Amino acid sequence: MDTRQVIDALNKAVALEHAACIQYKQHALLARGLWRKVYSEFFMSESRAAQEHAAKFGQKIVALGGMPTVEVGATIRQSLDLEEMLRQDLGLERAAMQAYLEAHKLAADDVALTNMLEDHIEGEQRDIEELELCLDMVATGAVAPEVNLRVV
Ligand SMILES: [Fe+2]
């Protein structure tokens, strides 16, 4: 494993988590309308999660002998429209996923780091799927619009 390259890849993910932390928090503050309560709490909890992810991998970077970045890895996007906010957040989550996958590729023979990243990638994927479901981007033919449940 090239430690330098791994640290750079992890720092890219950390910088994107910093951006996600700020963007989600801004969306929590700006959410308005009938769904404000639901989405404001959702965005705030995602902001905290992004902060924790940045700290978790920042600590790993220090353990590898590197310096965790304090950069913000993307332009913060904001909107007053909930759907637009969700699309902006999905974009950031997908960018972070790419950074984690890149780090995973580079970490090949470091079992602990590979395992850490695989666990983390699984969680990030769930966040992406949740956003896709909120945006109704998942098409399924499995559920008919009308379902009759049989009484047994
Ligand atoms: Fe994350």
Q: Which two tokens stand for residue 94?
A: 């997908």
For the chain, the domains span 3-134
Distance 126 CA to ligand 1 centre (A): 10
Q: How far is the CA of 53 from the centre of ligand 1 (A)?
A: 5
Q: Which two tokens stand for residue 112?
A: 């602990």
Q: Ligand 1 center to residue 90 CA distance, Å?
A: 11
| pLDDT tens-digit map of 11-62 | 999 999 999 999 999 999 999 999 999 999 999 999 999 999 999 999 999 9
Residue 137, φ and ψ in degrees, nearest 5:
-95, -5
CA 13 – CA 50 distance, rounded (Å): 10
pLDDT at 143: 66
Helices of type H across the chain:
3-30, 36-63, 82-106, 111-134
Best CA proximity match to 11, nearest among 101, 89, 73: 73
What is the topology classification, in CATH, of domain 3-134?
A: Ferritin (1.20.1260)
Structure tokens at 76: 């913060």
- The model's pTM is 0.91
d(CA 83, ligand 1 centre) in Å:
20
